[in-house]
Structure 1
Amino acid sequence: GTDAIPETDGAEKGTSYNKVRGDKVIAFARDFLDEALPLSSGSHVGTTGYVVDAASLTVTLADGSTVGLKDPSQLLGYQGTPDAP
């Protein structure tokens, strides 16, 4: 879990998964990615996929278009497989 999300408005920590809290964590992370690793266009909010191809990151947006990082040199590595980094 994370302490970055306040335990208010239904986002309380518990012993089982809390969808409200999970949604807030995902929103927080995507906002962070927009700040730290901006895309060439669009936003990490609402993305549907990430793929590493030939040492570059391809991001699929909600409308089906694909973009990369605004600064491709920010991709320093990844964990997982290229189609699910």
Structure 2
Amino acid sequence: GTDAIPETDGAEKGTSYNKVRGDKVIAFARDFLDEALPLSSGSHVGTTGYVVDAASLTVTLADGSTVGLKDPSQLLGYQGTPDAPTA
């Protein structure tokens, strides 16, 4: 773990899952993806799916449209299956 998420406003670490903290972790990760791996349009915030298709990444946005990475060469590999990558 890291200290990237402050333990304030209900986001304290504990012995069981903390939904407030989990939501903050997801928001932090999506913001990071927007900076490190920007999409051709839209944002990782609110995405509903990621699929690897013919060595490119297809991202489904909240409105149902699909986009790729702004720089497709940033997809260097993945783990899992193409229709449900895990990493």
Q: Secondary structure at the match of 1:58?
A: strand
Tell me by how many angstroms 1:23 deviates: 0.2
Give structure 1 regions of 4+ aligned residues with deviation exceeding 6 angstroms.
Answer: none
Q: Percent identity at matched positions?
A: 100
- What is the RMSD of the two structures over their aligned residues, measured on CA atoms? 0.7
CA shift for structure 1 position 2: 3.4
**Matched residue count:** 85
Tell me how far 1:48 sits from its aligned partner: 0.1
* Runs of at least 5 residues in structure 1 that lack an aligned partner in the other structure: none
List runs of 5+ in structure 2 lacking aligned partners: none
Greater strand proportion: 2
What displacement does 1:3 show? Answer: 1.8
What displacement does 1:67 show? Answer: 0.1
**Secondary structure of 1:41's match?**
coil
- Cα distance, 1:84 vs structure 2: 1.1
